[in-house]
Amino acid sequence: PEKEKAWMPVDLYIGGAEHAVLHLLYARFWHKVLYDRGHVTTIEPFQRLVNQGMILGEMEFSVYQDSGKDWVGIDKVSRDDEGRYRQEDGTEVLLVKLNEEQVTKKGDTFVLADDESIRVDARSFKMSKSRGNVINPDEIVENYGADSLRLYEMFMGPLTATKPWAMSGVNGVKGFLDRVWRMIVNDRAETLELNEMVSKLEADADALKILHKTIKAVTRDTENLDFNTAIARMMEFVNYFTKQQERPRSVMQSFVLLLAPYAPHLAEELWELLGAEGTLAYEPWPEFDESLLVESTIEIPIQIKGKVKSRISVAADISKDDLQEAARNDEKMQELLAGSEVVKVIVVPGRLVNFVTK
C-alpha cells in the first residue's frame, strides 16, 4: 500500500495514439485486474492522457514546367490515368522541386517568389530514410546546442498537433537563447561577467508587473502543456528587459527559474553567474502576486460622435466625473470642441468618453 501510494496513479501519460490498442490497453487491462483483486485502490492507472503530435520532415515544394520551361501552377494541372501531369488543354508538364528560397507565402497558399500568380504545392511527409527527409538530432545538438533542439520542439506548435520541421525555426530559437544570454551576460567582456545593466537595485513597479505577469502566464501554460505559448511569454519578457537600462538581479533570477525546464543548460549557467548558490534544480518554482498585476494607469479613448479623436492616461480607479473632466481638459479635445455645443457626454469608466456635439 505504501508503494502504491507513492507511485500510483501515474499523473501524466504521454504517448502516440498508435499505442492505444497495444501498450495503453494492455496497461489498463492489467491495472483493472489488480483493482478487481484488491491490490490497487484506483480504477484507472493514469490520471491524464495526452497524445503528442508527430513531427514531419521539412516542407517540400514543387511546381510544374511545360516544354518551354515556363512555370505552370498546381491549380492548372491534373493527373491522367497513366500517371502523367497535364494542363487543361492536354499539354504534358513535368513536376519540378523547388528550394525554400524560391517560394513565398501568400495568404493560405504558397506561390513562386518571382511570380506570385503561380501556385506551388507545399507539403510535409513522415520522416523516412527512403524519402531522405530524416532530421538527425545529434547534428542539431552539435551545431545549435541541446537547449535549442529542446526549445524548438516545444515552440513548434501545440503538443498534440502534427507539425513540419523547419531549420529556420531552429535558427530563430537559437537567436532567442542568444538574446537571453546577452540580456544577463556581458558578451563583449574577455571574461565571463554580468551585463553592466544587471544590478542589485530593487525592482520598480513596472519591472515587477512584467515579471509577475510572465510568471502567471508561464505557470498556467506549462501546467496546461501549452509549451509554445509559454515560450512566447518568455520572449515578450526578454523583449521588454532588453530595452531597459536597469535589469534587477532578483527579476533576472526569477526569469531564469522559469526558463529552466525549457533550456536547462543555459539556465543553470546563468543561475550560477547571477550569484545564486547550489543548483536551480532544487529551487522552488516562482509564485506570482496577483496584486502586482493590477494596472495603476489605463489609456482611455476620447471620441466625438463615436470617432476616436484623442487618448488620455488616467488612474485605473478614476471616478466617472473625474474621467469626464480629464477628457474635457485634454488639450487636443479643447481645440476640437471649441465652437461646438456639447449636447451629451457618454462616459463608460475604464472604457471610453464620447462627446455628442451639434
Q: Is the dihedral of CA 4, 5, 7, 8 positive or negative?
A: positive
The number of beta carbons lying within 10 Å of the beta carbon of residue 165 is 20
Distance of CA 345 to the CA centre of its chain: 42
Residue 296 above 80 pLDDT? no
d(CA 188, CA 136): 33
Distances (CA, A) of 286 to 58, 212, 217, 225, 239: 37, 9, 12, 18, 20
The mean pLDDT value for 67-75 works out to 92
Per-chain mean pLDDT for the chain: 92
- Looking only at the bridges linking them, the beta strands covering 55-56 and 307-315 are unpaired
State residue 160's pLDDT score: 92
Q: Structural domains in the chain?
A: 2-50 (no CATH), 60-123 (no CATH), 173-291 (1.10.730.10), 297-357 (3.10.20.590)
Higher pLDDT, 151 or 88: 151
Distances (CA, A) of 324 to 271, 305, 338, 349, 355: 50, 15, 16, 9, 10
d(CA 24, CA 236): 39
The mean pLDDT value for 75-89 works out to 89
The mean pLDDT value for 341-354 works out to 94
- Looking only at the bridges linking them, the beta strands covering 119-123 and 163-164 are unpaired
State residue 231's pLDDT score: 98
The mean pLDDT value for 114-136 works out to 93
State residue 16's pLDDT score: 83
**Ramachandran angles phi, psi of 10, nearest 5°:** -65, 130
187 pLDDT band, cuts 50/70/90, is confident
d(CA 19, CA 257): 34
Q: What angle do CA 161, 162, 165 make, to 5 degrees?
A: 125
pLDDT > 90 fraction of the chain, expressed in percent and rounded:
77
State residue 241's pLDDT score: 96
Q: Among 15-24, 184-193, 245-254, which is the least confidently predicted range?
A: 15-24
Higher pLDDT, 317 or 74: 74
Contacts of 152 by beta carbon, 8 Å cutoff, 6+ apart: 169, 170, 173
Burial level of 64, CB count in 10 A (0-12/13-18/19+)? buried
What is the reported pTM? 0.77
278 pLDDT band, cuts 50/70/90, is confident
Higher pLDDT, 81 or 60: 60
- Looking only at the bridges linking them, the beta strands covering 109-112 and 103-106 are antiparallel
